[in-house]
């Protein structure tokens, strides 16, 4: 059973009080995810509940009651305010992208990258294809920066490679994605990851930039 309710929050930055929808998701991450990590079923649509935005100062975070003193400056910055009101993105995508700026400012590049991936999902849902393309470009750069700073962004190096390959494919960077996929396939992997890598390679060969799931990879091996 899923319950969505309003919760009172007091903004860490400006102290304003506001209400935000919260979800009580009793059905966890059931089923196969998309190749870029997006969950299925109830959790798929719950992404809209993962970020809160203060209606007064525009502070965006998973919990606006929490923050860091360094966040106060970035929230008032020109770059942040420009992103907050960027008409090229849906409102919720802007909230995630603003949170990405905050995490980047703190040096948490993996968290910043995932925020841009979540923004891409929002853009996908609302038909902002060019904006989703841009979000995935931001994500690639941030994930690579996270690696340079020894910040993990998945449970294993294999899973990280799949995410990076899929992000390239979703941006129609097929030559780069193919090369990275081939280089990854030269190494040893668990059967599960090999199945997904071979499926990614097939999608790349077909110049397919659409969303696909791990279940499709399972079906393809049969």
Provide the sign of the torsion angle of the four alpha carbons 24, 154, 97, 72, taken in this order.
Answer: positive
Q: CB pairs under 8 A, 24+ apart, for 184-188? A: 184/158
Q: How far apart (Å, rounded) are the C-alpha atoms in residues 217 and 222?
A: 9
Closest CA to 159 of 114, 108, 103: 114
Give per-residue pLDDT as tens, 174-198: 999 999 999 999 988 888 899 999 9
Of 120, 148, 176, at which residue does a domain stop? 148
Whether residues 21 and 117 fall in one domain: yes
Contact (CB, 8 A) for 143 and 162: no
Whether residues 143 and 169 fall in one domain: no
- Please tell me the predicted confidence (pLDDT) of residue 52: 97
**Average pLDDT, integer, range 144-168:** 96
Give per-residue pLDDT as tens, 113-134: 999 999 999 999 999 999 999 9
Whether residues 32 and 104 fall in one domain: yes
Average pLDDT, the chain: 93
State the residue range of the domain holding 204: 157-221
pLDDT score of 222 more than 70: no
Report the domain count for the chain: 2
- Confidence tier at 84 by pLDDT (50, 70, 90): very high
- Please tell me the predicted confidence (pLDDT) of residue 32: 76
Whether residues 24 and 41 fall in one domain: yes
- Please tell me the predicted confidence (pLDDT) of residue 27: 47
- Please tell me the predicted confidence (pLDDT) of residue 191: 86
**Average pLDDT, integer, range 19-23:** 89
């Amino acid at each position: 059973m899923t319950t969505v309710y309003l919760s009172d929050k007091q903004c860490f930055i400006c102290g304003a009080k506001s209400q935000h929808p919260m979800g009580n998701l009793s059905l966890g991450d059931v089923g196969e995810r998309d190749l870029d990590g997006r969950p299925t079923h109830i959790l798929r649509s719950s992404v809209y509940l993962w970020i809160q935005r203060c209606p007064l100062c525009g502070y965006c975070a998973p919990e606006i009651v929490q923050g860091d003193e360094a966040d106060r400056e970035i929230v008032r910055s020109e770059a942040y305010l420009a992103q907050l009101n960027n008409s090229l993105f849906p409102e919720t995508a802007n909230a995630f992208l603003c949170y990405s700026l905050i995490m980047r400012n703190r040096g948490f590049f993996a968290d910043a990258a995932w925020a841009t991936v979540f923004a891409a999902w929002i853009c996908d849902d609302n038909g902002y294809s060019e904006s989703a393309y841009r979000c995935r470009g931001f994500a690639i750069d941030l994930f690579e920066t996270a690696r340079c700073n020894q910040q993990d962004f998945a449970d294993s190096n294999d899973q990280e490679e799949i995410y990076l390959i899929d992000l390239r494919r979703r941006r129609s960077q097929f030559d780069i994605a193919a090369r990275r996929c081939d280089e990854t396939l030269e190494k040893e992997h668990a059967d599960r990851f090999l199945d997904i890598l071979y499926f990614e390679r097939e999608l790349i060969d077909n110049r397919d930039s659409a969303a696909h799931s791990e279940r499709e990879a399972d079906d393809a091996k049969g």
